[in-house]
Amino acid sequence: MALDEFELIRRHFAVAELSFPAPGLVLGIGDDCALLEVPPGEQLAMSMDCLQEDVHFPAGCDPRRLAEKALRVNLSDLAAMGAAPLCFTLGLSLPQADTGWLAAFAQGLGDVAQQFRCPLAGGDTTRGPLSICIQVQGTLPRGKALQRSGARVGDIIYVTGRLGDSAMALPLVLGGDSALSDLPDADREAVLRAYYHPEPRVAAGQGLRDLASAAIDLSDGLASDLGHILQASGVGAEIDVERLPLSELSIPTATERDRLQAAISGGDDYELCFTAAPENSERIQRCMQELGLAVTAIGRIRESAGIEWRGAAPDIIEPGVTGYRHFH
């Protein structure tokens, strides 16, 4: 029997694991609009990220992992703004209504939705090439958003976690089972997690609201995303390359140079890159320690434009290549 659109949505998405009640979500799936209430003194932050098959993820990839990634990368934008997740909406385009695929996809979404207490509030399901458009909504106290434009000369530049894991994992993920089969089980799972399960730094973002001057999440690579902060703030930066927390993924064929390039130009890490006045340094370390999250000072904001990569071989930064781009 053919499933119609409404039945499809109801069966897989209007379930307690995915569209559960949450503070501020007055009305969820099932009407012309969802309804939210923002507490007095708070603002609503929202961000949309769309993933296309064959562009952002390989065709035929595990729907549960794919769903996890799609929601995680969106939550990362809330993290970068210092917002607490409230709910998300889903625009899903599918070539056909495959019940097994939908069940796995909904399961992946539900796992992340529950982890971050961020339920599905609505959306649209259409027939078409596989693509996933998610918009996340979050809240934060008025005036406390971590914008890109706040970096000041003398600020220290930090990153959370390690850089380049996802870029290191990518060739193996794209290579599929044959590329992955050479790895021991634990390493294989680590590679898949690096690519599909980025950890949105939601708690860190909120903790940094009163400490950081500017923040962004690393989706296109350090060079590109730090560039956005510099441009929005009208400043430049010097980065101590030997301080970069390089990927430690166990990939026997990877060279040190691969790891360095992945850290600088690789995308999809979803760590936070942020700037802060030097006097906040101790409080930042303490805040991150409480969250069990590594944080590394990698450089400093300066007046003259651009990024100086100190201690890097001159050819490590390919001219013009600053990160992941569409429409080349």
Q: How far is the CB of 4 from its own copies (least distance, A)?
A: 5
The interface region with its own copies, picked from 169-177, 214-222, 262-270, 292-300 by CB under 8 A, is: 214-222
Q: Residue 57: enclosing H or E segment and its boundaries?
A: none
Q: How far is the CB of 251 from its own copies (least distance, A)?
A: 28
Contact yes or no for 26/33 (Cβ under 8 A): no
* 295-302 β-sheet, strand order: 214-217, 272-276, 156-160, 295-302, 236-240, 307-310
Q: How far is the CB of 109 from its own copies (least distance, A)?
A: 15
The smaller minimum CB distance to its own copies, of residues 84 and 301, is found at 84
Residue 216 binding its own copies, by CB under 8 A: yes
Alpha-carbon gap, residue 165 to 173, rounded angstroms: 12
Closest by CA to 218, choosing from 288, 176, 157, is 157
The smaller minimum CB distance to its own copies, of residues 126 and 289, is found at 126
Pair of tokens at residue 70: 């799609």
Residue from 65, 72, 148, 201 that binds its own copies (CB under 8 A)?
A: 148
Residue 26 binding its own copies, by CB under 8 A: yes
Residue 10 binding its own copies, by CB under 8 A: no
Residue 137 binding its own copies, by CB under 8 A: yes
Within residues 33-92, the interface with its own copies by CB under 8 A covers: 33-38, 40, 43-56, 77-78, 80-81, 83, 89-91
Identify each DSSP E strand in 102-182 by its residue range.
Answer: 120-127, 131-141, 156-160
The interface region with its own copies, picked from 107-115, 131-139, 172-180, 233-241 by CB under 8 A, is: 131-139
DSSP string, 220-256: S-HHHHHHHHHHHHT-EEEEEGGGS-B-----TT--H
Q: What is the DSSP letter of 163?
A: B
Give every CB contact of residue 253 below 8 A, 6+ residues apart in sequence. none
Residue ranges in contact with its own copies by CB under 8 A:
2-5, 8, 26-27, 30-38, 40, 43-56, 77-78, 80-81, 83, 89-91, 93, 96-97, 121-129, 131, 133, 135, 137-138, 142, 145, 147-149, 215-217, 232, 325-328
